[in-house]
Structure 1
Amino acid sequence: MPNRQQDYIKYRKIYSKFIYTSFHYYIKNEELNISFEFLLESEFPKDLPSVKFEPSLNLALPSSFKGNKIKSQEIDNLVFNMGMVELISYWKAACPAEVIIKPFYLNEDQIQFWKKLYWNGLGEFFYINEIAADMQNFMHIRTDSSKKSESFSLQTEQKIIVPIGGGKDSAVSLELLKSSSLKLFPFIINPRGASLSTIKQAELPEENMLLAKRSIDPALIRLNKQGYLNGHTPFSAMLAFTSLLQAYITNTKYIALSNESSANEPSIANSNVNHQYSKTFEFESDFRNYYKNYITSDIEYFSFLRPLSELQIACLFSRIKNHHYTFRSCNVGSKTDSWCCNCPKCLFTYIMLAPFIAETELNAMIGENLIIKPSLKTSLEELCGLTEVKPFECVGTVEEVNLSLIQAINKNNYPKPKTLKLQVVTEAEKLFAKSLKDWNQEHFLPEFLEILLKQKLSTC
């Protein structure tokens, strides 16, 4: 991608302000319909008019929903904060220096939370577009309201919302949490074949399924086609805040994500550039502090798989064979519910599963042997840490890729790549065995779920 520094400077001069104007919601036909209004304000409206955005999010309400339990001031707080996440997808088109928040007042602590999320969540965006910016000056947030959103108390029940993406991680969470005896609500934003199949294969009641449809304003797509700035934004932060709303609607105490400890490793070593920033423990901790102080302290958001590595999750996934032919981890093939077999994410998934699943079965699951595929040589080197930058995908650490790859090579007698980072096979064998028993202490699991996860992990 070409250097966009001059475009960044140009657009910031044309559009000096980004305004979060308002949010709206209403219930109709058993759906909660939410919309946000943003304005990209032009300094030269006669030549380049200001751009109005109105993205939306529709939540299908569960059959158990009781509308009379909803309080407008509580929904206002939840929806307002969802808009604070949504705005970054539209701000990045021109990156105005000033962001004005009109619906509610934000104190300095709240402003710093959002600024940190935006800065780190856009690390990949700035890197890929070769934009030089700094955290202090890339954005100044101010509020244009004295109205404060009040935190509130909830009477929650011992139930668990489990966001589902369609990959191996959420399938593992769902299957393991089934044995907790608590009622599960699988939650999907923009359902696709693989995410729906995950719920079907887990044999959960259809009425427990929570669905949401997030729609991008066509005006943003038009700007993208015209060459405005574009790139990765922290989707998992939007998932986090939307999950809070779902927990409120269903009176659910627990929200169990499927983010593992490996997500903490940046895409570029010793930098803030992490494709998975909003899946990191750092974000999880910041988010918990934020919503407990400013929304409600009666919901527990955590990643169920946080103590584990990608290797451990792959081991657990190898045991739940009912998901082997329906899960999908490929972003390229997501719209067609397929594996493209030519991207870093497909290769990474293959490498992780190779030590635990026979080659013939794994080839049938994903399509072909990707470890020995010549066209993926560059991706293999990036995953193994032989380049400065890891693929900008949700992939594991350099160490676990090398460990898994050596294990797969030994198991299947593949030709050993000359560029493999971990050359000492005997040491790798010991490290691999040890890695399956590791337990990351940085997590927020309730004690009863920590016990459950340790029991399941002991089988690996």
Structure 2
Amino acid sequence: MTEFFRIERPTFDPASGGAVFGYRLNDLAFTEKLVLPTGASESAAASPAFEKLLGLTAIVLGVSYFKLRAPFAIQAPDIALNAAERAFVIDVYENGMGEFYARNALTRFGKLELAAPHDPEEHKPAPDLPNRTLLPIGGGKDSLVSVDLLTHTGQPFTPFAVNPKGPILTSVEAIGTPPLYVTRTLDPEMIRLGQETGYYNGHVPSTAINSMIASLCALLFGYDQIVLSNERSASEGNVMFDGRETNHQYSKSLGFELLTADTLANATGGALKYFSLLRPYSEARIASLFTKEQKFDAVFSSCNRNFRLDGNDGPLWCGECPKCHFVFLIFAPFMAKDRMLRIFGRNLLDDPANEQSFRELAGLTGQKPWECVGEILEAAACFYTLTRHADWHEDAVVRAIKTDLFAQYGEEKLQRAMAECLTDSHDHHIPPALAAKVAAYAV
């Protein structure tokens, strides 16, 4: 039997806020559910734009079930797609799943077949959306820098999250603006099978998933833009596999952002915008901006390992994973040492056990970790700054790697790299008026 993955027609009930998504993987059936806030306009829920976005959302959410067997045939018999939407779907299932394929040694690039009816209509009627921003909050430094930028530029926004927990909840409480939350319930049978022999498991493009869910809320509750907090280094990949660069952060990359922006705009007649407010910035530049505000110090976390169910049942930072190490490294050049130690609980640069992890981040050994960390040269440049920094130059890890760092890169290259980290890029598509206001504040 030829294996296949089929995406059924989704349904949405505006009265309850419930959306139901059905999938079939060979002889297996799965159901996923979303619960959106109630009170959505029935006319918005019945609009062609919402119907289009609901279908695209069903397809993107499907990656969680597709990955169990990763068949070559994908079917969406009840969801019509135009040529651009087909390209978007294939990109999600190819490049969006690139890490999953690489880590499971599956060759799928250029080999997937998508069967779906053709939608001849290129543009949908434009709904009337107010000038408001839906801002996904991840609980880490990046979205909180976006909060600060939007606040100081006078742009009204609503915090948004899917299945909020831990640092998301504590961060939103500190923001002080009423949020919009969505509950997502995965089929428990999919989760169970993912642990069994004969089925695959691994990374899925969560930013793509959450962005599509956000698009449904934007139409139903009246937001004309979804503002992401993805930095420019998210576009750097991890390894080459099956003839392509694979990127843990592909769905945060500029290329995918542009593709998603076009898809959402075309589905809504140009009414819905989608862009990252932090795209001009390196991770180091974002860290420098974070230091402007202290009210989030005790509530935020970028540590995936310790993403707690609530904010009070353990440390926000494990101090052991590559993500903790990278965030500590990029904060160190810009933040007072006593403030750093209050946030992280200890000095991660003065523990010899962390040396191997920091070497990987700086490109001195191994590959770039499969984590949401910045560019290798950026990490090396931050280390270079620390070798000359009164607060950090005597710490164990800094002393241990200094000689190899200088030998591999040279001081001139590291100096130039640090300067580039602090120079804003023009490669973004933030609306010009907002970009000018942000640039004026972020000097």
Give the structure-1-normalised TM-score: 0.87
**Residue 55 (1) aligns with residue 32 (2):** yes
2:76 to 75, 83, 101: 101
Report deviation, 1:147.
9.6
Aligned to 2:421: 435
CA distance 1:145–1:107, shift in 2 (3 Å): closer
Gaps of 5+ in 2: none
The TM-score with structure 2 as length reference comes to 0.90
1:294 to 254, 267, 278: 267
Percent identity at matched positions? 29
Deviation at 1:90, TM superposition (A): 0.6
| Structure 1 segment 273-292 matched on structure 2, within 5 A | 273-292=246-265
Shift of the alpha carbon at 1:196? 2.0
* C-alpha distance in 1 between matches for 2:81 and 2:295: 47
Matched to 1:87, the amino acid is G
Deviations 1:49-99 (A, max 9, x none): x1111011111246xx44455325433222111111011111110112211
Indicate how the Cα distance of structure 1 residues 265 and 344 shifts in structure 2: closer, same or farther if over 3 A, else same. same
Offset of 1:144 from its aligned partner?
A: 5.5
CA-CA distance at 1:214 after TM superposition: 1.3
Bigger mean CA deviation after superposition, 248-257 or 259-268 = 248-257
Aligned to 2:158: 185
CA contact (8 A) 1:33 1:58 kept: yes
User: Please, which of 170, 183, 201 is the counterpart of residue 213 of structure 1?
Assistant: 183
Task: Decide which moves more: 312-321 or 245-254.
Answer: 245-254
Q: Does structure 2 conserve the Cα–Cα contact (< 8 Å) formed by 1:19 and 1:39?
A: yes
Aligned partner of 2:102 among 122, 127, 130: 127
In the other structure, the counterpart of 2:202 is 231
Map 1:439-450; keep pairs closer than 5 Å: 439-450=424-435
CA offsets per residue over residues 173-223 of structure 1, 9 Å max, x none? 01110123232111011111211222222232x2xx110111111111121
In the superposition, relative to structure 1, how do residues 430 and 282 fare at CA in structure 2: closer, same or farther (>3 Å)? closer
Displacement, 1:271? 4.1
For the 8 Å contact 2:377–2:417, the answer to whether it is kept is no
Distance 1:146 1:431, change over 3 A: closer
2:215 corresponds to: 244
Paired with 1:216 and 1:87, the residues of 2 have a C-alpha distance of 10
**Which consecutive segments of 4 or more residues in structure 1 shift more than 3 A?**
65-70, 144-150, 421-431
8 Å Cα contact 1:25/1:32 also seen in 2: yes
Question: In structure 2, do the counterparts of structure 1 residues 362 and 102 end up closer, same or farther at CA, with 3 Å as the change threshold?
Answer: same
- 2:122, 2:266 within 8 Å by CA — same for their partners in 1? no
Structure 2 CA distance for aligned equivalents of residues 198 and 289 of structure 1: 30
**1:58-73 superposed matches below 5 A:** 58-61=35-38, 65-73=40-48
Q: 1:331 aligns with which of 292, 297, 304?
A: 304
1:134/1:224 Cα in 2 relative to 1: closer, same or farther (>3 Å)? closer
Rounded Cα–Cα distance in structure 2 between residues aligned with 1:451 and 1:106: 36
Whether the 8 Å CA contact 1:307–1:441 is kept in 2: the answer is yes
Find the counterpart in structure 2 of residue 455 from structure 1. Answer: 440
> Structure 1 residues 107 and 451, CA, compared in 2 at 3 Å: closer, same or farther?
closer
Question: Given the alignment of the two structures, is residue 18 of structure 1 paired with residue 5 of structure 2, yes or no?
Answer: yes
Task: Specify which of 130, 137, 148 is matched with residue 164 of structure 1.
Answer: 137
Question: Does the 8 A contact of 2:60 with 2:208 survive in 1?
Answer: yes
CA distance in 2, matches of 1:176, 1:108: 37
Distance in 1 (alpha carbons) for counterparts of 2:37 and 2:54? 15
Within 5 Å, give how 1:140-179 maps onto structure 2.
Answer: 140-143=113-116, 151-179=124-152
- Helix, strand or coil for the counterpart of 1:392? coil
Q: Quick one: distance in 1 between partners of 2:98 and 2:69?
A: 16
Q: Is 1:163–1:188's contact at 8 Å kept on the other side of the alignment?
A: yes
Q: How many Å separate the matches in 2 of 1:376 and 1:346?
A: 11
- 1:181 corresponds to which letter in structure 2? G
The answer as to whether partners of 1:176 and 1:453 remain within 8 angstroms in 2 is: yes
Contact 1:247 1:253 in 2 (8 A): yes
Give the CA deviation at 1:427.
5.7
User: Which stretch shows the higher mean deviation, 301-310 or 99-108?
Assistant: 99-108
Match of 2:374 in 1: 396
Give distance in 2, aligned partners of 1:409 and 1:61. 54
TM-superposition CA deviations, 1:346-383 (whole Å, max 9, x none): 00010010111122321220122112323322221211
Q: Does the C-alpha gap of structure 1 residues 52 and 144 become closer, same or farther in structure 2, counting only changes over 3 Å? A: farther
Whole-angstrom distance in 2 between the partners of 1:431 and 1:452: 26
Q: 1:397-446: per-residue Cα shift (whole Å, max 9, x none)?
A: 0111111122223222232414326654466345424532x121221111
Structure 1 residues 175 and 150: CA distance shift in structure 2, 3 A = same
User: Is the Cα contact below 8 Å between 1:312 and 1:457 reproduced in 2?
Assistant: no
Match of 1:259 in 2: 230
Q: 1:194 aligns with which of 161, 164, 167?
A: 167
Over 3 Å counting, the alpha-carbon distance change for 1:121 and 1:70 in structure 2 is closer
Residue 36 of structure 1 contacts residue 54 of structure 1 at CA under 8 Å; is this kept in 2?
yes
